[in-house]
Chain A
């Protein structure tokens, strides 16, 4: 596609439910990143992939959060047993080349985000 797409754009769920957020990166982009942005704050890095390999998940808040990218394209961020503090904008970004090869810094293009509200 022309840009990074995310679905759903809005998700309202009840505390304790599981949610799955989807990211479709720009075609051909090798690296995919997940961020979380609270209201009035800058995005906070969660995890990223080069191809299908998850490179670092140290930014994930706890073990209720997981992400996968099984075929090196679309990625899913899953939050189990959601809590009210999980409410935020979840953003996905992609970049053309793996940072480890090209040097970190290939610009990341962001999707529109998924606004998650946990009641």
Chain B
């Protein structure tokens, strides 16, 4: 069965610090996708990134970067020069590739509550 672990329940940093959110996953499939979603205080779920299991290149988008390492089953998310607006709950999620019409839903971690203090 697939599983996503976000061991950090809550992280608090001062604005402009860098912060890394950890995500460790478990799956028996060789083909799968990993995601990060942001849930700000307003409650919506905002898609941030998707990564497939065959692409281990790190990705950078502005102040956000993601480090995917299959060897350690991790997909960590780093925010550089954090800002107060980054305060939110961040979810890591996993989806296995459907072969014969099986479940295609996302398995989410429990989330990391990130607090950026001014």
Contacts and interface: CB of A to CB of B under 8 A. Distances in A.
B7 to A, nearest CB: 13
A18 interface: no
A55 B91 contact: no
A41 B95 contact: no
- A interface residue count range (under 10 / 10 to 19 / 20 to 34 / 35 or more): 20 to 34
B48 to A, nearest CB: 9
Given A99-B98, A105-B95, A43 B104 contact: no
A6 B107 CA distance: 21
B64 interface: no
Interface string A53-81: 00110110000000000000000000000
Contact of A48 (B44, B91, B105, B107): B105
A56 B105 contact: yes
A33 B106 CA distance: 9
Contacts of B32: 104-105
Interface of B: 4, 31-33, 35, 37, 43-45, 47, 50, 52, 91, 93, 95-99, 101-111
5 contacts: A42-B109, A42-B110, A48-B105, A100-B104, A104-B97
